[in-house]
Amino acid sequence: MVRPNAGTKGVPRLDRETQILDIASEQFGTHGFAATSVATVADKAGISKPLIYNYFGSKEGLYEACLDRGGSLLADEIERIARGEAVGIERGMATLAGMFTLLEPQPYLWRLFFDPTAPSTGAIADSIAGYAERIGKLADEGVTELMRLAGNDDPLDISAMTAVWLGIVDSLMNWWMEHPEESAEQMMQRCMRLLTALFGGDAE
């Protein structure tokens, strides 16, 4: 039968891989791992399924490549902010600002690391755990410092507060994805206003 582009020197592999990962990241990040099919990614990339399997080995391999690409961006940025001088809530706001800016062109990137339908064992789980550890470690540091300032060093309290902080970030990201017309700058200003509403003027 006719095979449209078989036997062609098409797109160089590295370019094609980047294109595939752009589309796959958006699909996985928007719909979740389980609800995204390799066939859909291939369709949207204008290629065939076997090519994706040739390059990435499996659906999990594809997801892992997406994580590796996006995770470095995310974790590097959060680590960069953590090296700053901000502490406590100020550090939290700085982290949010950096993430809004980073994620503005690709807000779905966040969801790659917080997807309940991603595999919970194997390479993907290990990769997610690795990035979550990097991200959570910094969150934990920031939270531990804030809790220490408040005189609380209970490990379970710190763990719960870290979970709450990540839950706040997650809900803001989700709200933002439901309001894509809001810019990163507007989101940051909104966060400052919410902070002020909660703490009054001393958040300044």
Partner DNA sequence: GACCTATATGACCTTTGGGTAAGTTACCAC
Partner DNA sequence: GTGGTAACTTACCCAAAGGTCATATAGGTC
- Report if residue 170 touches a second copy, rule: CB under 8 A: yes
Residue 1's CB is within 10 A of a number of other CB atoms, namely: 2
Shortest CB 67 distance to a second copy, Å: 18
Question: By CB under 7 A, is residue 36 in contact with DNA?
Answer: yes
Q: Taking CB under 8 A as the rule, does residue 168 contact a second copy?
A: yes
Footprint of a second copy on 131-160 (CB under 8 A): 146-147, 150-152, 154, 156-157, 159-160
Q: Does 109 bind a second copy (CB under 8 A)?
A: no
Which one of residues 117, 133, 141, 185 is an interface residue with a second copy (CB under 8 A)? Answer: 117
Shortest reach from residue 109's CB to DNA, in Å: 20
Residue of 1, 2, 6, 197 interacting with a second copy (CB under 8 A): 197
Check binding of 171 to a second copy (CB under 8 A).
yes
Under rule CB under 7 A, residue 59 binds DNA:
yes
Q: Which residues bind DNA (CB under 7 A)?
A: 1-13, 16, 36-39, 46-51, 53-54, 57-60
